[in-house]
Structure 1
Amino acid sequence: MLARRLHPSVNRRGLTFWSQWICATALSNLTICYVIFDHFGDIPIPYRVLILLGMLASVPIYSALHVYHKRYGYGFGLLRLLAAWLVLMGALSTVVLACLDYSNLDQTLLAKLVLVGFLAQACSYLPLRYLTNLHARWLRFERTALIVGTCPLAYSLAQQLRDRVPVQGMISTGDDILHAPDDDDLPVLGALEDLNELVTRRSIRRVYIAMPLSKAAQIEAIYLALLDLNVDVVWIPDFSSMMLLNQSISQIEHFPAIYLNETPLSSHPAAAFGKELFDRGLALLALIILFPVMLTVAIAVKLSSPGPVFFRQPRHGCNGLIIMVWKFRSMRVHDDTEVRQATQHDSRVTRVGAFIRRTSIDELPQLINVLRGEMALVGPRPHAVAHNHYYGDKILAYMARHRIKPGITGLAQISGLRGETETLEKMQLRIEKDLAYINHWSLWLDIKILLITPFTLFSRNIY
């Protein structure tokens, strides 16, 4: 049987989340129940159902948005809490509209509950966050550390750790090349033969070994030498020459396992559920709101030239599966046996097509793909199958972008990498942004990309 065991620091983050979530949810639900009881003299069943659904749905949403992560300050943390609360309220609104009799619910009371629910969580957030920070500061001074190695990886690690752990200095391994920055706080304290004495004299609690895989025998010797000391030993492998995708470390029974390439959302089911709920709920709401716009565009496309209103093209979806992507037809009907990207002044593009392409209105039917679960609101843009075959063996890790669902918009699109990719370098830049999105995915990142997207619609690169 396979078992995944997280590092203690991950367990502490989980404990921090659950402790704050339980306190905030308890205070919020008690406040909401009090307001409902004060209004009705009882808590009607529809309100009980909504409270239960809200409590269950808040776990993946709050976790995906990292609401209680310690790296955020009070102000930004409250903004994340507000964003998560609004996403949760949007999801519950979808449930109310689809499943419950909306006429039986007091709209004024619902608005009041939304407000008091957030205020109760905000009131609990501030003192809990203060206590969490106090505990983190206490732990920080308890975790004095040394780093074995003076290679670029070692100094990069020291820069990352110094805000959380008091790094006393570095230990030279003898044959490594010094890459010391102009920083007196990271001195080279000695050589390997001095390590045990330094650990004891400086009361070191943790030793980080930052050495390449080629020095495995030396790493083992260092580890064995430190076994008898009261010190934690952490090895940081150097994978700088490898392209990793959502890397993580786990355990299979008693074997340590380093995941070099893992589907980001499948490794975090709660986050995947939160993104799916967010995407489909928002897509349904967008289809309802934008229906008049889409109807007007459909009529304009039909009148602009003979042919169907919609254009469907096979694209690679999640895990390389072929999906049919919907768009408003922007070109005259032509022989498309050879897939060609649209270029500037392309004779195939109609007048209406030029406008809807430039404003990306032609992409709106893809909300149907999102509702069907074939696409996401945010993700790597799906390319034509022929383009994937062409670029697949020319760009490193090109097909890795298909490890998640393709999106209507994405990090590459808001970064100015839209439109024609007439050179290999332009496609390379787009792929780098797609992989960066996969590696740093969060629901908060999705929200930021969606908010920025409208301001990038009139790009000059769109033909």
Structure 2
Amino acid sequence: MIHRYATFIKAVNLTTDYLILNISMVISYAVIDKSSYIWINNKNYLPIVLVFNLIWLLSANISGLYEQVLNKDSINTYRGVIKTYFIFVSFICFTIIILIGTKPYFVTREYLFYSLALFGFLLGLWKLIFLGIRKSNRRSLFDTRNVVIIGGGRIGYDLYQFFSNNAERGYNLIGFFDDSPERVKEKELYLGRTDECIDYVIANNVDEIFCTLPNSKADTIERLMLDADKNLIRFKFVPEYYDYAKKPTYIQSFGHIPIISVRPEPLENMLNRFLKRSFDTVFSILVIVFVFSWLFPILAVLIKLQSKGPVFFVQIRSGRDNKPFKCYKFRSMRVNDESDKKQATRDDKRITLIGAIMRRTSIDELPQFFNVLRGNMSVVGPRPHMVSHTEQYSQLIDTFMVRHFLKPGITGWAQIRGLRGETKNTEDMLARVEADVWYLENWSFLLDLKIVFLTFFGTVRGDKNAF
């Protein structure tokens, strides 16, 4: 455990922030609206309350405001608050002033100014109070526990190293128990044989036992577990399997049988998959209707004027489960024989003038929204690679094929982290693959929204790797 009250403090922060947000809105409503019409009965006002609250949730998830609330120092805390506040204000202005408009809900710009300014002031004041309380009581928030390890082999030593290198976890290692003393490297930490463990733990107020014995010692493990339960001592078992996984794993129970998955996959949940597919469909239709429809004829003419060949570039790429599919793009290069083998490079002579502009702004990817509608791509996911690259890198990178558990995307976690463009060596591709696998393991709908927003922001700002 990291902190006894970590989840509670996070919930307090989130709840208080929402109270401040809604109090600011109510006070601003009372100041601006001089009528006796109670705000809660105003049907035109309530949708704005909902919009404010949802946008704050989105902004906080984008910035990671509520992550590690007990570990961030005051500077990082305020940096996160300011970042979240400006994202929030930007979204509010864009949503209410530009998309919705103020007239339908009788919301004035004066009200927006007062409510946002008051919220910003009260939020900053609350965070100052929170930091003061946290500083005076921080020590009491840590849950330090005395523990022992049964088994002095490599697994036990790895666990000892983890405790030593992660003091903030709150585990104070007393020592080891093992039937072979020579297996314990730190001789001063050797406490005795395994059958002496329970008596020692009871006599010395030890809170938890970590057992790293191999499965061949099943009888010993079972006896120790039962004795620990009888004496109200928490017993934790480290499976030998841990050797095969270098990251957190996901455990399910099939009846009484524990099943350890190599990685969590949120998109294996049908509800999550439906949510993602619904977003893909709606978002793609909006882009095709409001952007592609008028931009297509302009780009078609410019592409034709620049060089001979089709307007669209169609290439076979690797999709979900490594199934090939036809990926569509606006043609940004002169027709050549290397397009299925050679990546685009900086100052590539094959790229036309209009092609360079399209690639720099990622406009050449717009036709892929038709791929999304057809169901062989998603708005967010790992970028699809040429089949030849899939064959090449699957032999060089062990986890390369894992990215194909997902549908490929128009944008992705790797892209917003700058891992796009030409892969000059295996290390570049490895970094991209690691980002794609992280996305597979940590998917959420809010993460997709964050990636879409940052992609749009990055396109406007410009990306040095887009060429």
State whether TM-score is above 0.5: yes
Write the deviation string for residues 126-154 of structure 1: whole angstroms up to 9, x where unpaired: 44566567777435355332333442431
Distance 1:28 1:420, change over 3 A: closer
| Stretch of structure 1 that moved more, 57-66 or 155-164 | 57-66
- Partner of residue 30 from structure 1, selected from 23, 27, 52: 23
Cα distance between partner residues in 2 of 1:121 and 1:282:
37
Cα distance between partner residues in 2 of 1:37 and 1:359:
49
Equivalent residue letter for 2:100? L
Corresponding residue number in structure 2 for 1:5? none
Write the deviation string for residues 86-108 of structure 1: whole angstroms up to 9, x where unpaired: 55555555653686343453224
Q: Give the superposition deviation at 1:222.
A: 3.1
Higher relative contact order (CA 8 A, sep 6+): 1
Q: Give the superposition deviation at 1:403.
A: 3.7
| Stretch of structure 1 that moved more, 52-61 or 26-35 | 52-61
2:464 pairs with 1:458: yes
Note the 1:350-389 alignment, pairs <5 A: 350-352=351-353, 355-356=356-357, 359=360, 361=362, 365=366, 368=369, 374-376=377-379, 379-385=381-387, 387-388=389-390
Structure 2 residues without counterparts, runs of 5 or longer: none
- Partner of residue 414 from structure 2, selected from 395, 399, 411: 411
Q: Give the superposition deviation at 1:232.
A: 1.5
Secondary structure of 2:464's aligned partner: coil
Distance 1:77 1:239, change over 3 A: farther
Secondary structure of 2:45's aligned partner: helix
Corresponding residue number in structure 2 for 1:47? 45
Higher Rg: 2
Cα distance between partner residues in 2 of 1:257 and 1:136:
38
Cα distance between partner residues in 2 of 1:214 and 1:198:
24
Q: Give the superposition deviation at 1:25.
A: 0.9
Corresponding residue number in structure 2 for 1:3? none
Tell me the number of residue pairs that the alignment of Structure 1 and Structure 2 aligns: 446
2:13 pairs with 1:20: yes
Corresponding residue number in structure 2 for 1:303? 305
Q: Give the superposition deviation at 1:14.
A: 4.7
- Partner of residue 165 from structure 1, selected from 154, 157, 170: 170
Secondary structure of 1:167's aligned partner: strand
Scaled by the length of structure 2, the TM-score of the pair is 0.71
Confirm or deny: 8 A CA contact 1:375 1:407 kept in the other structure.
Answer: yes
Cα distance between partner residues in 2 of 1:196 and 1:224:
10
Equivalent residue letter for 1:26? L
Cα distance between partner residues in 1 of 2:281 and 2:121:
26
Confirm or deny: 8 A CA contact 1:302 1:308 kept in the other structure.
Answer: yes
Write the deviation string for residues 49-88 of structure 1: whole angstroms up to 9, x where unpaired: 1212433565566467361533333332343344445555
Note the 1:124-163 alignment, pairs <5 A: 124-128=126-130, 137-138=139-140, 140-141=142-143, 143-150=145-152, 151=154, 152-159=157-164, 161-163=166-168
Equivalent residue letter for 1:458? K
Equivalent residue letter for 2:414? L
Cα distance between partner residues in 1 of 2:97 and 2:323:
33
| Stretch of structure 1 that moved more, 19-28 or 430-439 | 430-439
| Bigger fraction of residues in helix | 2
Confirm or deny: 8 A CA contact 2:163 2:171 kept in the other structure.
Answer: no
Scaled by the length of structure 1, the TM-score of the pair is 0.71
- Partner of residue 263 from structure 1, selected from 262, 265, 279: 265
Identity %: 17
Note the 1:296-445 alignment, pairs <5 A: 300-313=302-315, 315-316=317-318, 325-334=327-336, 339-342=340-343, 349-352=350-353, 355-356=356-357, 359=360, 361=362, 365=366, 368=369, 374-376=377-379, 379-385=381-387, 387-388=389-390, 391-392=393-394, 395-404=397-406, 406=409, 408=411, 410-411=413-414, 414=417, 418-420=421-423, 427-428=429-430, 430-439=432-441, 443=447
Equivalent residue letter for 1:352? L
Cα distance between partner residues in 2 of 1:274 and 1:215:
46
Confirm or deny: 8 A CA contact 1:312 1:327 kept in the other structure.
Answer: yes
| Stretch of structure 1 that moved more, 364-373 or 48-57 | 364-373
| Stretch of structure 1 that moved more, 412-421 or 382-391 | 412-421
Structure 1 residues without counterparts, runs of 5 or longer: 1-7
| Stretch of structure 1 that moved more, 361-370 or 257-266 | 361-370
Write the deviation string for residues 261-320 of structure 1: whole angstroms up to 9, x where unpaired: 3214566989997999899989989x9999999998766534321234443445455666
Distance 1:109 1:232, change over 3 A: same
Cα distance between partner residues in 2 of 1:370 and 1:16:
44
| Stretch of structure 1 that moved more, 242-251 or 326-335 | 242-251
Cα distance between partner residues in 2 of 1:16 and 1:272:
33
Corresponding residue number in structure 2 for 1:192? 194
Q: Give the superposition deviation at 1:35.
A: 0.7
Distance 1:342 1:319, change over 3 A: closer
User: How large is the Cα RMSD of the aligned pairs?
Assistant: 5.2
